[in-house]
Amino acid sequence: MSEITVGVLGARGRMGSEAVGAVEEADGMTVVAQVDADDALDALVDGGAQVVVDFTNPSVVMDNLRFCIEHGIHAVVGTSGFDDDRLAEVSTMLADREDVGVLIVPNFSIGAVLMMRFAAIAAPYFESVEIVELHHPDKVDAPSGTATRTAEMIAAARRSAGSAPIPDATTSDPLGARGGVVDGVHVHAVRSRGLVAHQEVLLGDQAETLTIRHDSVHRSSFMPGVVAGVRGVVGRPGLTVGLDAVLGLD
Amino acid sequence: MSEITVGVLGARGRMGSEAVGAVEEADGMTVVAQVDADDALDALVDGGAQVVVDFTNPSVVMDNLRFCIEHGIHAVVGTSGFDDDRLAEVSTMLADREDVGVLIVPNFSIGAVLMMRFAAIAAPYFESVEIVELHHPDKVDAPSGTATRTAEMIAAARRSAGSAPIPDATTSDPLGARGGVVDGVHVHAVRSRGLVAHQEVLLGDQAETLTIRHDSVHRSSFMPGVVAGVRGVVGRPGLTVGLDAVLGLD
Amino acid sequence: MSEITVGVLGARGRMGSEAVGAVEEADGMTVVAQVDADDALDALVDGGAQVVVDFTNPSVVMDNLRFCIEHGIHAVVGTSGFDDDRLAEVSTMLADREDVGVLIVPNFSIGAVLMMRFAAIAAPYFESVEIVELHHPDKVDAPSGTATRTAEMIAAARRSAGSAPIPDATTSDPLGARGGVVDGVHVHAVRSRGLVAHQEVLLGDQAETLTIRHDSVHRSSFMPGVVAGVRGVVGRPGLTVGLDAVLGLD
Amino acid sequence: MSEITVGVLGARGRMGSEAVGAVEEADGMTVVAQVDADDALDALVDGGAQVVVDFTNPSVVMDNLRFCIEHGIHAVVGTSGFDDDRLAEVSTMLADREDVGVLIVPNFSIGAVLMMRFAAIAAPYFESVEIVELHHPDKVDAPSGTATRTAEMIAAARRSAGSAPIPDATTSDPLGARGGVVDGVHVHAVRSRGLVAHQEVLLGDQAETLTIRHDSVHRSSFMPGVVAGVRGVVGRPGLTVGLDAVLGLD
């Protein structure tokens, strides 16, 4: 069987260069084009790329996608900024090209994807759920996008199941120690030197707790997800959001 | 809607008495008979029990089940000792009574059931998996039944997925610090005062770990599972093993 | 050697009754008087108590102490509400009785005392420190008194050592997910069914973290501290605050 | 005040090159000589090094130390292999040079040093103590040196305090899941991809546990200890083992 030919956009950035290495090391795929800010996209066509991995930035990613789709190249996208409007735009681009697949991935960490999914499955079985996310102290925003998304998934699962509101007898909290609330779920953001990206979901019921924790200590943890995305987008035409489908979790 | 009428066998034991309380407190069910070692099973019939909860012991549980099935009473069984022979025997008893359900439950903790299930789902996505179970120091056997069962489920999932063996470069371990191995999965048993029943499944891949931990600090943590079992066994004729089906996890 | 004779005040309350049992079980001490709300304090003298354990309430504890000191009975006090004024008042009471010891104990858990002490020792060696306290959802206030006290001890240790402020680049936290701040230390309060009383101190520096966690799952965890207090207060005249001295930690 | 001048031996190795960078970045010290396998030690003298940091190997470290001591250069040693014989030999070398200090450091991680120390302090206050060390799966030996040393320190502390043996009712452990025993303390070694170097000491008593955990995710975590060693060895003549004294922990 021939190898999947891959082009990497943003190839000299931190994530992109990591992706180049990961694709090279993976079985059944090879890098045929490395494109960065000043390079022409034609290199993708010249190199014969079947799949593009895009780690660029929100200002150029849509043009990249238009080029790929027009040229029949599948895309795995790690660039952020895909709101509903952008997703709709990608769907429109894809309307004429039934053979091309685009996979938008908010989180390439397989462990994080599983954590979120398990949290949502478990949430209706427990009275209480809270989220603690922990990151390095140079992070400028709180809570993390993953924590927010996890809380939304938990809240949706509980609504579907008709779960009661999470109990909380707190009447005095002058300092705001109880943290933030996303969709009815308390979210706490810890910042400490020595941490990278971590999250813990605590589910509690009568005399028992279930804790699901994900620890990522280097961006290389995202690479198995990139490789799975490259494998998965081939033969999956149309727009897909999230690694779940590619991982066989749907 | 009328309440489910429940008889408890082993009603004066530790688990049984807890079960009596839990059924009484739960919505939609009520205790109509409490039977212990010296009491006649006829009390179940006299009380009009639709469902029996059995927390007795391996020497009497089969007779109890025969009685229940003959009298058209569903059974939720927490008594241990159900090997393949006993399960086959129960199936035979049920052959003539298509209206009766028997639910054999090795672990009533919903959190533990979810932990095992999540561990098995996640296992093929990670290079490494190990199990640490932690219990009070009066426990006489190691590893725990739950740890053994978890390891078996993990190993089965990895076999199905064609996962590689778990990496381990250990060449020198004179004291046996690497613990026990169940079906290719390392299992560690910690014993300490102050603990009750806990288990952690650690899954690891390049630069990331996913940890699933269950903590049970009192036998009352099993009661939501007992209540779910009582609700679930009604309308589920035949033999069912494990809470998974009742919890809607299958 | 003769046994230490102990009277328990508040003997029918939750902590008091637990204390009666713990003293009875401990080597070298015995309960000679159990006094509750409607009983006369004279029972302490009649019973020949050398030491009193007080688990009453703030409205009566000062009268109890006055009685004990006048009658030459040492006191171990678990009742809350001892601010600086009350401590000064106790010192005054003790001025004339150089033979009597009073031990005021804000937290009887030996594990919690050690956690706080270790956190304070370690704090100047790390760039970052944060506290996460976790309790059952029926607790009405946040953060816990132990978390507040821990933060104060950490802050004092860092001030003494001339530590830099804890780094935190957060500029956007619209929901307050970063929690409360006590004396420059972030404190997070988690509430969940299935928890009792837990606290984690996370200390972080370049590529490493040190985590000190205390879990208490039942009030019986306070009893070794009560017993140590009874043993320690004999032969320790004057006012002592906290178990540290009694545990040989000073 | 003039800067401390530092020479690094093994300067092109993984730890040595990290040390060069750390010393350069630290306040009050500067690198004046980088020496590796094929370089002459004279570079230390030529560069005017006051302190040497040695990350070489057991076959050359004794010669390095002899050279340094003869030339009045203090040494901070991270090289392994210092048993009692070697320590005695270093003491003999130092006998004639009362102005020179040698600091042998089995573990440069300040967090690990604190973990071990806290574990030893706490151990006599708890009925139970166990150690779980967790490392990457390429490690060839189990348990880790740090775990073994921690167990020895815990055992010594308990002997001094007259503690009872740690309770363990295990009668059936056919797979060896209870792990290894060092000096009466159970030690468990977990190996998983995604881990670097971690250790957890679990102390338990009636209804409570105290957990002390150290996580190191990169060798850069050792650098604050190297810097503290360089600062501390100046003005500390003679032989010192371990960072404790330098950190002000003795």
Is residue C43 within 8 Å of C31, Cβ to Cβ?
no
Taking the C-alpha atoms of residue B230 and residue B223, their distance in angstroms, rounded to an integer, is 11
Kindly report the number of other CB atoms within 10 A of residue B18's CB atom: 18
Query: How do residues D104-137 score in pLDDT, each as one tens digit?
Result: 999 999 999 999 999 999 999 999 999 999 999 9
Chain B residue with CA closest to C215: the answer is B194
Is B79 annotated in a binding site? The answer is: yes
CB contact under 8 Å between A224 and B206, yes or no, is yes
Q: For chain D, report the end-to-end CA distance as a whole number of angstroms.
A: 27
CB contact under 8 Å between C192 and A130, yes or no, is yes
> Sign of the C-alpha dihedral, residues B160, B163, B164, B167?
negative
Are residue D94 and residue D163 in the same domain, yes or no? no
Q: Residues 188 to 207 of B: which have CB under 8 A from any C CB?
A: 194, 196
Q: Pick the closest to residue B243 from B115, B61, B73, B106 (CA basis).
A: B106
Kindly report the number of other CB atoms within 10 A of residue B72's CB atom: 11
Instruction: Kindly list the residues from chain D whose CB atom is less than 8 angstroms away from the CB atom of residue B137.
Output: 127-128, 166-169
Taking the C-alpha atoms of residue D211 and residue C126, their distance in angstroms, rounded to an integer, is 18
Are residue D81 and residue D33 in the same domain, yes or no? yes
Q: What is the CATH number of the domain that holds D37?
A: 3.40.50.720
Helix D223-233 crosses helix D14-25 at what angle (to 10 degrees)? 70
Q: What is the CATH number of the domain that holds C182?
A: 3.30.360.10
Is B16 annotated in a binding site? The answer is: no
Residue A194 has pLDDT above 80, yes or no: yes
Chain D residue with CA closest to C217: the answer is D207
Range of the domain at C102: 4-108+220-247
Are residue D25 and residue D148 in the same domain, yes or no? no
pLDDT cut 90: percent of chain A above it = 94
Instruction: Kindly list the residues from chain D whose CB atom is less than 8 angstroms away from the CB atom of residue C114.
Output: 118, 121-122, 125, 210
Report yes or no: B208 at the A interface, CB cutoff 8 Å.
Answer: yes
Quickly state the pLDDT bin for B181 (edges 50, 70, 90).
Answer: very high
Report yes or no: D221 at the C interface, CB cutoff 8 Å.
Answer: yes
Tell me whether residue B106 is exposed, middle or buried, using C-beta atoms within 10 angstroms of its C-beta: 0 to 12, 13 to 18, 19 or more: middle
Are residue D101 and residue D117 in the same domain, yes or no? no
- Residues in Cβ contact with C95 at an 8 Å cutoff, skipping those fewer than 6 apart: none
Rounded mean pLDDT for each run of 10 residues along chain C, 250 residues in total? 92 96 97 95 97 96 97 96 94 94 95 97 97 96 94 98 97 97 98 97 97 96 96 96 88
Report the gap between the CA of D250 and the closest CA in chain B (Å). Answer: 30
Chain A residue with CA closest to D214: the answer is A194
Are residue B118 and residue B209 in the same domain, yes or no? yes
CB contact under 8 Å between D177 and B193, yes or no, is no
CB contact under 8 Å between C190 and A191, yes or no, is no
Taking the C-alpha atoms of residue B12 and residue A250, their distance in angstroms, rounded to an integer, is 46
pLDDT cut 90: percent of chain D above it = 94
Quickly state the pLDDT bin for A92 (edges 50, 70, 90).
Answer: very high
**Residues belonging to chain B:** 250
Kindly report the number of other CB atoms within 10 A of residue C145's CB atom: 12
User: Strand, coil or helix: what is D156?
Assistant: helix
Taking the C-alpha atoms of residue A53 and residue A55, their distance in angstroms, rounded to an integer, is 7
Q: Using CB atoms, which residue from B167, B178, B204 is nearest to D142?
A: B178
Quickly state the pLDDT bin for D94 (edges 50, 70, 90).
Answer: very high
Cα-trace Rg, chain A: 20
The single residue listed with the structure tokens 């996640």 is B122
Query: How do residues A220-239 score in pLDDT, each as one tens digit?
Result: 999 999 999 999 999 999 99
In one-letter notation, the amino acid at residue C59 is S
CB contact under 8 Å between C215 and B194, yes or no, is yes
Chain D residue with CA closest to A214: the answer is D194
Report yes or no: D221 at the A interface, CB cutoff 8 Å.
Answer: yes
Question: Most D CBs within 10 Å: which of A217, A220, A222, as the mutation test of the D interface?
Answer: A217
pLDDT cut 90: percent of chain B above it = 94
Question: Most D CBs within 10 Å: which of A218, A220, A223, as the mutation test of the D interface?
Answer: A218
What total of structural domains would you count in chain D? Answer: 2
At B93, phi and psi to the nearest 5? -60, -35
Alpha-helical segments (H) within chain A: 14-25, 42-47, 61-70, 84-94, 110-122, 145-161, 223-233
Residue A250 has pLDDT above 80, yes or no: no
Which pLDDT belongs to residue B1? Answer: 59
Q: Using CB atoms, which residue from B114, B207, B224 is nearest to A221?
A: B207
Query: How do residues A199-218 score in pLDDT, each as one tens digit?
Result: 999 999 999 999 999 999 99
Residue D1 has pLDDT above 90, yes or no: no
Quickly state the pLDDT bin for A1 (edges 50, 70, 90).
Answer: low
Which pLDDT belongs to residue A228? Answer: 95
Which pLDDT belongs to residue B81? Answer: 86
Report yes or no: D181 at the C interface, CB cutoff 8 Å.
Answer: no
The reply to whether C135 belongs to the active site is yes
Three-state secondary structure readout of B21-89: HHHHHCCCEEEEEEECCCCCCHHHHHHCCCEEEECCCCCCHHHHHHHHHHCCCEEEECCCCCCHHHHHH
CB contact under 8 Å between A208 and B115, yes or no, is no
Which pLDDT belongs to residue D103? Answer: 97
In the set D135, D188, D198, D214, the catalytic residue is D135
Are residue B224 and residue B102 in the same domain, yes or no? yes
Residue stretches of the annotated binding site of A: 10-15, 36, 78-80, 105-108, 136, 145-146
Quickly state the pLDDT bin for A249 (edges 50, 70, 90).
Answer: confident
Which pLDDT belongs to residue A240? Answer: 96
In one-letter notation, the amino acid at residue D231 is R
At A103, phi and psi to the nearest 5? -115, 110
Is residue A212 within 8 Å of B227, Cβ to Cβ?
no
Mean pLDDT computed over every residue of chain B: 96
Instruction: Kindly list the residues from chain D whose CB atom is less than 8 angstroms away from the CB atom of residue B189.
Output: 170, 173, 177-179
Taking the C-alpha atoms of residue D9 and residue C249, their distance in angstroms, rounded to an integer, is 41
Are residue B18 and residue B60 in the same domain, yes or no? yes
Are residue C175 and residue C240 in the same domain, yes or no? no
Which DSSP string corresponds to D108-135?
--HHHHHHHHHHHHHGGG-SEEEEEEEE
Are residue A65 and residue A119 in the same domain, yes or no? no
Query: How do residues B59-97 score in pLDDT, each as one tens digit?
Result: 999 999 999 999 999 999 999 889 999 999 999 999 989
Which pLDDT belongs to residue B250? Answer: 73
CB contact under 8 Å between B182 and D169, yes or no, is no
Which DSSP string corresponds to B86-150?
HHHHHHHHHTT-TT-EEEE-S---HHHHHHHHHHHHHGGG-SEEEEEEEE-TT--BSS-HHHHHH
Are residue A55 and residue A91 in the same domain, yes or no? yes
Question: Most D CBs within 10 Å: which of C208, C216, C218, C246, as the mutation test of the D interface?
Answer: C208
In the set C135, C186, C198, C214, the catalytic residue is C135
Taking the C-alpha atoms of residue B215 and residue A207, their distance in angstroms, rounded to an integer, is 8
pTM equals 0.92
Are residue A101 and residue A197 in the same domain, yes or no? no
Q: Using CB atoms, which residue from B138, B139, B193 is nearest to D205?
A: B193
Report yes or no: D37 at the A interface, CB cutoff 8 Å.
Answer: no
Taking the C-alpha atoms of residue A170 and residue A158, their distance in angstroms, rounded to an integer, is 22
Is residue A184 within 8 Å of A123, Cβ to Cβ?
no
- DSSP 8-state symbol, C141: B
Task: Quote ipTM for the complex.
Answer: 0.89
Q: Pick the closest to residue A1 from A231, A246, A243, A239 (CA basis).
A: A231
Is residue B96 within 8 Å of B237, Cβ to Cβ?
no
Token pair for B91: 């199936």
Q: Give the rounded distance of the alpha carbon of B158 from its chain centre.
A: 22
Report the gap between the CA of A244 and the closest CA in chain D (Å). Answer: 22
Which pLDDT belongs to residue C180? Answer: 98
Are residue B137 and residue B80 in the same domain, yes or no? no
**Residues belonging to chain A:** 250
CB contact under 8 Å between D176 and B173, yes or no, is no
